Amino acid sequence: GEGKSAIARRFMLGYATVRRYIARFEVTGSVCARPHGGGAPRKVDAAGEEVLRRLVCERPDATDEELARVYAVRAGCVINHTTVNRALRRMGLTRKKSPSTRPSETPRP
């Protein structure tokens, strides 16, 4: 029986928020949050993961940037080095880089 302004003040909400909650309750019978919309689909799907797996086997010392460039050519989808890194982590692939310089001849104390 209270007005929307009084409800907004009591719960320290904006008037528009109270209006939206009431409208949602009238339509759905609940003020619960709606389900997640889903977001953007992955750029590296199952087929892309297989391409990445082969690339890592062929070029184990390649950087994420290099893998992203070769992936764009092979898969026909341009992706960022961050996307490559995220996909490799999701696939459980870790890569050990070869040392770029010779080890020191003098042992450390």
pTM comes to 0.58
Rounded distance between C-alpha atoms, residue 35 and residue 32, angstroms: 9
Q: Is residue 107 part of a domain?
A: no
What is the number of structural domains in the chain? 2
Q: Is residue 101 part of a domain?
A: no
| Rounded (to 5) percent helix, strand, coil in the chain | 50, 0, 50
Measuring CA to CA, how many Å separate 26 from each of 19, 29, 58, 76, 90? 11, 6, 60, 48, 42
Rounded distance between C-alpha atoms, residue 102 and residue 69, angstroms: 28
Tell me the pLDDT band of 98, cut-offs 50, 70 and 90.
Answer: low
Q: What is the pLDDT of residues 13-40, one digit of tens each?
A: 999 999 999 999 999 999 998 888 888 8
Q: Is residue 99 part of a domain?
A: no
Q: Is residue 65 part of a domain?
A: yes
Rounded distance between C-alpha atoms, residue 77 and residue 71, angstroms: 7
Q: Are residues 57 and 82 in the same domain?
A: yes
pLDDT greater than 80 at residue 89: yes
Q: Is residue 20 part of a domain?
A: yes
Q: Are residues 26 and 57 in the same domain?
A: no
Domain that holds residue 60: 46-91
Who's near 72: CB < 8 A, 6+ residues apart? 78, 79
Per-residue confidence (pLDDT) for residue 93, from 0 to 100 = 86
Q: What is the pLDDT of residues 41-83, one digit of tens each?
A: 889 999 999 999 999 999 888 999 999 999 999 999 999 999 9
